[in-house]
Amino acid sequence: MTVPARRVLLVSHPSREVARHAVLAATKRFLEEGVEVVVPVEDASPELPDVQVSRDAAGCDVAIVLGGDGTMLRAAALTHGARVPVVGINLGHVGFLAEAEERDLAAVVDQVVAGRWSVEQRLALDITVTREGALAERLWAVNEASLEKADRQRMIEVVVEIDGRPLSRWACDGVVCATPTGSTAYAFSAGGPVVWPEVEALLCVPISAHALFARPLVVAPTSVIAMELIGRVEAVLWSDGRRSVPVRVGDRIEVRRSDEPLLVARLEQTPFTDRLVAKFALPIEGWRGRPGSQR
C-alpha cells in the first residue's frame, strides 16, 4: 500500500485514436478526484487544456501508461532517475509489461487515487561503449541491449567475455543482453529462455551465430557481460530498440546491472505463470492441478 496519488504523469501513443480517447477519459476522472495531471511535451494537445506539460516525471507520484510495450519503454525513459513507478494499461497487442487492459481503465484510476498499489523493482541495465580507452557512450535499458550488424549481407564478429574472462568468439547477426523483464521480448525471439521477474539474472543470447558453442547464457546479476567487436564489419548498438549508437571495430561494450531499477506499480498480484499463459494464449486444456490447488 502506498499513499494516494496527487499528481500523475499520463504517457500515451498520441497518434492512435484509442489512446487519445483513453487519455481524455483518464484525465477527466483524475481531475474530478482533484489529482493533477501531467503529460510529456510531445503528448500535449488542445484537447487537454487543464493538464500540465513536462519533459520528465519529476514531482509525480506515478506514471500511467496508455499503450503497448513500446509506450511502456518510453515511459521508463521519462521516469528514469525520478524514482517514479509506472503502471501500464495495454492498448496494444501483447502488452507484456502492462498491468491492466483497456476495459480496466476506470478501476485503475480508482486504485491509483486511493493508493491501492504496491511498488515492484525490476532489474535494469547500464551499457557503456569504450572507444580507444575512453568512454564513448552510456545507455540505460529495461529490456535489453542488442549489438546488431549494420550491413544485412555481412555478419559481425564478436568476442564475448563474462566477468573479465573470454568465453567465445562468434560470427553472428548480433548478440542480445537482456533482463528478466526483457526475456519475453527480443531475447525470446532470438531463442532465449523465459525468466520469471523474481529471478535476478542477466541473459546473453547470440543471434544466428556460426559457432559450435552458441547457446543462450544466464549469468549472475552481479556479472559484467562484455563484447568486443573485431573483424572488419561495423555494428549498431540498440537500447530497448529505441536508441541506437554506431559501434566501430575495436569498440568494447559492457553490460551490467544498473543501480537504478525500473519501478513498476502493481495493482494485483497475478502469478507470472498466469500472465504468460494469457499473453501467449498457451494451451492448458486438461490441467487438473494438484489436490487443493486454486485458480
Separation of alpha carbons 54 and 52, rounded Å: 7
Q: Which of 69, 173, 240, 251 is catalytic?
A: 69
Alpha-carbon Rg for the chain in angstroms: 21
| Strands 36-40 and 243-247, sheet pairing | unpaired
Separation of alpha carbons 12 and 39, rounded Å: 9
C-alpha cell at 265: 506499480
CA atoms within 13 A on the CB side of 273: 3
Contact 80, 140 (CB under 8 A): yes
Q: Is 173 a catalytic residue?
A: no
CA dihedral 210, 211, 212, 217 (to 10 degrees): -110
* Residues identified as active-site: 69
